[in-house]
Amino acid sequence: QITLKESGPTLVKPTQTLTLTCTFSGFSLSTSGVGVGWIRQPPGKALEWLALIYWDDDKRYSPSLKSRLTITKDTSKNQVVLTMTNMDPVDTATYYCAHRLGPTQFDYWGQGTLVTVSS
Amino acid sequence: QPVLTQPPSASASLGASVTLTCTLSSGYSNYKVDWYQQRPGKGPRFVMRVGTGGIVGSKGDGIPDRFSVLGSGLNRYLTIKNIQEEDESDYHCGADHGSGSNFVVVFGGGTKLTVL
């Protein structure tokens, strides 16, 4: 059974750096083809893809946010970490991590974590 | 990259059927689209992937047979038959585009389905 859970601060101040951790079980990020992605959703708005990391450390970023994002993995801990610099109130959203196998869909998602950016 | 367009809302009576539409922008008629269900206060749940030939791969875990998909031209459809109260959700479509450093995943604006 594949499960993912996001964790991190619920409140960050403008200009600060956000660090989110996705802790998963039921699969390994050392298995060929496996990937974990991050997607966010501002309150009442659409989903927005942020980043994706694969088992071989191949990384993909949203072009509009690439300069602010870093995605890394710790295979031994079954974790993927996303950092986003220079946070702004418009970055207030629920942040989700999700499992992906190769060029297929995000088939398992976490419950999400709400991050509010406010001074 | 493609733009995915979804009507913001839809409604159907309990036990009826409804078809939700995700429309790809011009030039992307060969793209596959993923459908996701998002119940109130929950994370998205994968429903199924659809191309012009219909379903691609398998349905998501626990998705009932009442859910089906079709693809035609620029449109990708999700049909729900015998609608139940638990089907009241936001439905999102998403698609991959590009490869390597040009890879992106795009999502539509979502359709809120109300069960009457």
pLDDT score recorded for residue B54: 94
Residue A115: count of CB within 10 angstroms of its CB: 21
Do residue B44 and residue A63 have CB atoms under 8 angstroms apart?
Answer: no
How far apart are alpha carbons A49 and B113 in whole angstroms?
23
Q: Which of A1, A105, A108 to mutate to test the interface with B (most CBs of B within 10 A)?
A: A105
| 3-state SS record for A7-30 | ECCCEECCCCCEEEEEEEECCCCC
Residue B37 belongs to domain spanning: 4-115
SS3 label, residue A89 = helix
Q: Name the minimum distance, in Å, from the CA of A112 to any CA of chain B.
A: 6
How far apart are alpha carbons A99 and A2 in whole angstroms?
8
State the total domains in chain B.
1
Mean pLDDT of B89-116: 95
Do residue A46 and residue B42 have CB atoms under 8 angstroms apart?
Answer: no
Mean pLDDT of B19-40: 97
Asked if B15 and B44 count as a contact pair (C-beta separation under 8 A), the reply is no
Do residue A47 and residue B45 have CB atoms under 8 angstroms apart?
Answer: no
Mean pLDDT of B52-80: 96
Give the distance from CA A102 to its chain's centroid.
17
| 3-state SS record for B17-60 | CEEEEEEECCCCCCCCEEEEEECCCCCCEEEEEEECCEEECCCC
**Residue B65: which region, alpha, beta or left (left: phi > 0; alpha: psi -120 to 50)?**
alpha
The band of A102, judged by pLDDT with boundaries at 50, 70 and 90, is confident
Q: How many C-alpha atoms does A43 have within 13 Å on its Cβ side?
A: 7
The number of C-beta contacts closer than 8 angstroms across A and B is 55
pLDDT score recorded for residue A105: 92
Task: Check residues B41 and A6 and name the one with the higher pLDDT.
Answer: A6
Asked if A51 and A62 count as a contact pair (C-beta separation under 8 A), the reply is yes
Residue A58: count of CB within 10 angstroms of its CB: 11
The band of A77, judged by pLDDT with boundaries at 50, 70 and 90, is very high
Closest Cβ–Cβ partner in A46, A105, A107 for B109: A46
How far apart are alpha carbons A107 and A21 in whole angstroms?
19
pLDDT score recorded for residue A104: 86
Exposure of B65 by Cβ count < 10 A (0-12 exposed, 13-18 middle, 19+ buried)? exposed
Q: Name the minimum distance, in Å, from the CA of A97 to any CA of chain B.
A: 10
How far apart are alpha carbons A59 and A56 in whole angstroms?
9
Mean pLDDT of A20-45: 96
Is B66 in the A-facing interface, judged by CB distances under 8 Å?
A: no
CA-angle at A89, arms to A84 and A94, nearest 5° = 65
Find the CATH number of the domain harbouring B75.
2.60.40.10
Query: Both tokens of residue A99?
Result: 């499992």
Mean pLDDT of B82-99: 96
Residues of B in contact with A69 (CB under 8 A): none
- Calculate the average pLDDT of chain B: 96
Is A114 in the B-facing interface, judged by CB distances under 8 Å?
A: no
Is B104 in the A-facing interface, judged by CB distances under 8 Å?
A: yes
Do residue A52 and residue B105 have CB atoms under 8 angstroms apart?
Answer: yes
